[in-house]
Amino acid sequence: MSIVGSSSTVARGAGPDRNDTQEAHVTQGPLTTEAGAPVADNQNSETAGVGGPVLVQDQLLLEKLAHFNRERIPERVVHARGAAAYGTFTLTRDVSRWTRAKFLSEVGKQTETFLRFSTVAGNLGSADAVRDPRGFALKFYTEEGNYDLVGNNTPVFFIKDAIKFPDFIHTQKRDPYTGSQEADNVWDFWGLSPESTHQVTWLFGDRGIPASYRHLNGYGSHTYQWNNEAGEVFWVKYHFKTDQGIKNLTTEEAVRLSGVDPDSHQRDLREAIERGDFPSWTVQIQVMPADEAAHYRFNPFDLTKVWPHEDYPPVEIGRLELNRNPENVFAEVEQSIFSPAHFVPGIGPSPDKMLQGRLFAYGDAHRYRVGVNADQLPVNRPRATEARTHARDGALYDGRHGGAKNYEPNSFGGPFQTDRPLWRPTAGFAAGTGTHEAPVHAEDDDFVQAGDLYRLMSEDERSRLVENLAGFIAKVSRDEIAERAIHNFRRADGDFGKRLEAAVQALRG
C-alpha cells in the first residue's frame, strides 16, 4: 500500500456511527462575545473616525486577540507529535485467576478506550515518518476509574533508571548551542550507556520507521502487578499485536514521505476510521508468578530487556478496536493526559525503576502543561464512574462539588476510604534505603538480548540495520565516540560489530 502523497478525499462525517456533534455545539442566532452580548460588526475594528487609530474601547477586538494569544498550551516535552482515536476493548479470555480488575472480569465485556500514538523526540510540528519510537498510550474508561497503560511500539527502552531520563532526552532534543539534534550528543550518551544497545538495535532495524500507526505493535513495556481476589500476585507484560500486519518504511521512503505529507500517519489513521476500516490489535499478556521473579535469570523489572516467549508464552486475552475519531484535536488529543499512576483495583506497579519515576513525572507534567484540574476535562474524566475527591479550585475548576465539604473524614456524607489497596505490597526487599543498584541476576547483561535480536534477523534485515546505524554514527565528530558506539554492538555480536565498523569506516573515509 502506498501512502505517499495521500490526501483527504473522504467528506467530514462520512464515517459510520460518527458522533456528529459539531452542529449541536454551535446554535443558530447572532454572534456574541464570550460574555454573551450580541456582536454588531465582526469585520471592522472601532476607530477614531475613518482611517483613524483603533480605540482601546473596542472590547471585541481585545477579547479576540487576547484569546488567540492563549489558544495553545505548552506542547509535551516528549511525545509532542501525535494522533488519537476512541475505541473499544473486548475481553476474550477469563483472566480472573490473575486479577480482580472488574473490566477484566467477564468474557465478552467491553470497555471504552482512547488511544494516542506519538513520536518521542520531535516537536509538535515535526513529520510523522521519522526514525523514532512510537508512543502507545491507552486509556481504559472502566467502572472503577480510568486505567492508563503508557507504552511504546517497542518492548524495551534505552535506559533502566528514571534518574537518567532527563539526560537521555536532552541528547535527543536540540543542542543548546546549535539548535539542532547532534549526532555527537546522541552517540556519546548511547556509547556511555551500554544498556541502550538493545533498544538502539530495535530502533535502527526495519521497525524503526512504521508505515502508519495502524501497522505497528504496542507494548506496555514495563512490568506490572496483577493481583486476584485471593491476594495472589503476578507480574505481567502487555502486548498489542496489530491485526493489520507489520508494515514499515525504508529510510529513503520516509524522507520522501516526510516532505510530501508530514501528516501521513495521523491522516492515515483518521481516514481509515472515517471510511469504516477500523484498525484493531490482538491483546496478549505474559504472566510470571511473583515468587519466580527473584531467581529469574535476569532482572524481570529491567526495562531494557524482554521476557523470552519460551520462558513465558504470550496468552491472548482480548481485542482492541479503534472506531471513532476525536471531534476536536486540541480539546481531545492535545489536552488528553495519560499517567502510569492511574491504576484500578487488581492492577499496580512493579519495582521497575523507570516505571517508579514515571509514576510521578507524568502526573507532574500534566499539572504543569494542562492544569491541576486536567483530569476533569471531558477527554480525561472517568466515564463509567465519577471522580469523588476533596480537591477544589484552581485553573479550569468547574464548581462541580457545589457546597460539599472538602475534607475527610467528615460527618456530612462525603466520600470515604475503602480500606482495600488497589495492589499488594511487594515482598522480598531489604529494609535499608539508599541509592542501590538493581539486584544482579544470572543474565543481567546489557548485550545478550541485543545480540539475540541481531541473530534473529534475516541477512537482508541485518544489512539494513548496519546501514542505518553506520549512516548516523558516521556523523559524529570525534573518533572515540564512534568507536565506543561500535564497541557496544561488537559486544552484542562479533559479526554485528565487525560489519558496523567497516561500514562506518567506509563512510568516514
The secondary structure of 379-407, three-state, reads CCCCCCCCCCCCCCCCCCCCCCCCCCCCC
Q: Which of 25, 44, 67, 79 is catalytic?
A: 79
Nearest to 79 by CA among 48, 114, 108, 119: 119
Cβ neighbours, 10 Å, residue 295: 8
CA 337 from chain centre, in angstroms, equals 10
Strands 233-242 and 347-348: unpaired
152 is catalytic: yes
Cβ neighbours, 10 Å, residue 231: 8
Tell me 162's DSSP state: G
What residues contact residue 157 under an 8 Å CB cut-off, 6+ apart?
199, 221, 303, 304, 354
* C-alpha cell of residue 19: 458522533
Residue 409, preceding bond cis, omega within 30 degrees?
Answer: yes
Residue type, 416: F
Nearest to 338 by CA among 116, 172, 125: 116
- Whether the CB-CB separation of 12 and 21 falls below 8 Å is answered with no
- Whether the CB-CB separation of 194 and 158 falls below 8 Å is answered with no
Q: Which of 146, 152, 323, 325 is catalytic?
A: 152
Active site residues: 79, 152
